Chains A and B, each alone.
Chain A
């Protein structure tokens, strides 16, 4: 079946530094790549998404890049803040479903 791999599983960064989370996908037909953030005890919520007709998308401190040739996409968070601490999930669409990465626990150190 289709697969999405996400790395790292845990990422610890100093407050103010940048964080990068990477995902690779297997379905070459995938066209939609969302990123979700799940804070402790809360539901996952969409923070940014990208479609295959663009290579990069930014929203304030968050950016996502997509390389369709290599079948990988990445989430970049700059100037990290304590409220960025959460689990982040990437996903790729395949046959009308989202295939999810295993998640990255982002820890922001004060």
Chain B
């Protein structure tokens, strides 16, 4: 069974541009979570989608947005990129119940120059 997959692996953008990151969850998982991890530090929660709906968002500006498709895959969009948006973006998928394992993708390394 395939794990959580993210694309692209690396992304280089110029300040002010937009970035789109993609995540495919494990088959059967309906929840997708997005995290930002800067410089190998902590996991900063960005967004949570379940059954196509945004369930919660972290303390990030509105230029961070996303959506979840009917097949439960998800996109994270970052508009008006700033240098400090450079980070590893991880998505994780799980069943909707929170007392089950969350599986992470390998991440997208976004570099803003």
Contact = CB atoms under 8 A, between A and B. Distances in A.
Interface residues of B, number: 23
Contacts of B42: 89, 100-103
Given A97-B48, A103-B42, A45 B98 contact: no
Interface stretch (B16-24, B66-74, B78-86, B102-110): B102-110
Interface in A53-81: none
Interface of B: 31, 33, 40-43, 45, 48, 50, 55-56, 90, 96-102, 104-107
30 contacts: A32-B100, A34-B101, A34-B102, A43-B90, A43-B105, A43-B107, A44-B90, A44-B104, A45-B104, A46-B102, A49-B101, A51-B99, A87-B40, A94-B98, A95-B56, A95-B98, A96-B50, A96-B55, A96-B98, A97-B33, A97-B48, A97-B56, A97-B98, A98-B33, A100-B43, A102-B41, A102-B42, A103-B41, A103-B42, A103-B43
Given A89-B42, A93-B99, A97-B33, 20 more contacts: A32-B100, A34-B101, A43-B105, A43-B106, A43-B107, A44-B104, A46-B101, A94-B98, A96-B31, A96-B50, A96-B55, A97-B45, A97-B56, A97-B98, A98-B102, A100-B43, A100-B45, A102-B41, A103-B41, A103-B43
